[in-house]
C-alpha cells in the first residue's frame, strides 16, 4: 500500500498567461498547482482511488496528521508551467517519494517509483476533485492528537 501512495470560473481565473491558454486545457480537466503559482497543471478526472494516509512518513512530509492522495493514471496530467521548479525527494530505504515546488514547498503530483500511477496531493487542486476518500490507510500509525483535534472547537477564521 505504501508504494502505491508513492503512488468554468476557476478555469478562467487561473488562465493568466498566454502559454497556459495554448496548452489546450479542456473544460473537463481539473486545474491544480502550488501555492506560489510557479507550478501549474491540468488533470483528467478519471481517478483510480483516493486515500488518506496516516503513516509516519506522511505525517513528517506534510507536517500534519495525514496525507490526502488521489491515485490517478500516469497519462492524465498535463503540465502547464513550472516543471523545472519541481524537486523530488526519494527516501533512501523506503519506497516513499515527495514532489514539491522548490520555491514554496507545496506538494505536487508525481509518478510513483513503480511507475504504475500518478500520485496527486488532493490539496494541490484549485477545485474539488469531485470524489471523496475511499479509505483511511495506515491508521495504526494515526497521530495521537487527530481524533481529539477533529472534535475540537471550530472557528470560521482565527480563534476569537
Query: Would you say 54 and 66 are in contact if contact means Cβ atoms under 8 Å apart?
Result: yes
Specify the stretch interacting with Zn ion by CB under 5 A; choose among 10-18, 51-59, 86-94, 111-119. Answer: 51-59
Examine residue 36 and tell whether it contacts Zn ion (CB under 5 A): yes
Closer to Zn ion by Cβ: residue 36 or 146: 36
How many residues bind Zn ion, per CB under 5 A?
A: 9
Instruction: Tell which one of 25, 43, 53, 125 touches Zn ion (CB under 5 A).
Output: 53
Instruction: Tell which one of 31, 42, 55, 111 touches Zn ion (CB under 5 A).
Output: 55
The kind and range of the H/E element at 102 are: none
CB of 19 to Zn ion, least distance (A): 17
CB of 28 to Zn ion, least distance (A): 25
Examine residue 70 and tell whether it contacts Zn ion (CB under 5 A): no
Closer to Zn ion by Cβ: residue 3 or 45: 3
Count of helices and strands (H, E) across the chain? 5, 10
The set of residues, in sequence order, having a beta carbon less than 8 Å from that of 98 and lying 6+ positions away, is 61, 88, 89, 107, 110
CB of 36 to Zn ion, least distance (A): 3
Q: Among all chains, which residue has been given the C-alpha cell 527516501?
A: 91
Instruction: Tell which one of 1, 10, 21, 104 touches Zn ion (CB under 5 A).
Output: 104
Examine residue 111 and tell whether it contacts Zn ion (CB under 5 A): no
The kind and range of the H/E element at 72 are: strand 67-72
Examine residue 58 and tell whether it contacts Zn ion (CB under 5 A): yes
CA–CA separation, 1 and 18 (whole Å): 40
Q: What are the angstrom distances between the C-alpha of 134 and each of 37, 50, 51, 122, 159?
A: 29, 5, 6, 13, 32
- Residues of this chain that interact with Zn ion (CB under 5 A) are 34, 36, 38, 53, 55, 58, 101, 103-104
Amino acid at each position: 500500500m505504501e508504494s502505491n501512495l508513492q503512488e468554468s470560473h476557476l478555469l478562467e481565473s487561473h488562465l493568466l498567461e498566454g502559454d497556459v491558454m495554448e496548452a489546450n486545457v479542456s473544460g473537463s480537466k481539473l486545474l491544480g498547482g502550488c501555492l506560489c503559482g510557479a507550478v501549474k497543471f491540468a488533470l483528467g478526472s478519471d481517478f483510480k482511488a483516493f486515500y488518506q494516509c496516516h503513516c509516519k512518513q506522511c505525517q513528517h512530509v506534510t507536517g500534519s496528521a495525514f496525507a490526502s492522495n488521489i491515485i490517478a493514471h500516469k497519462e492524465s496530467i498535463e503540465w502547464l508551467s513550472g516543471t523545472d521548479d519541481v524537486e523530488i525527494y526519494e527516501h533512501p530505504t523506503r519506497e516513499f517519494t515527495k514532489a514539491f515546488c522548490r520555491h514554496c514547498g507545496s506538494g505536487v503530483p508525481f509518478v510513483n517509483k513503480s511507475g504504475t500511477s500518478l500520485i496527486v496531493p488532493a490539496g494541490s487542486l484549485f477545485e474539488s476533485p469531485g470524489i471523496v476518500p475511499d479509505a483511511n490507510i495506515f491508521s495504526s500509525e494515526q497521530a495521537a492528537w487527530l481524533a481529539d483535534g477533529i472534535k475540537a472547537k471550530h472557528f470560521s477564521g482565527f480563534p476569537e
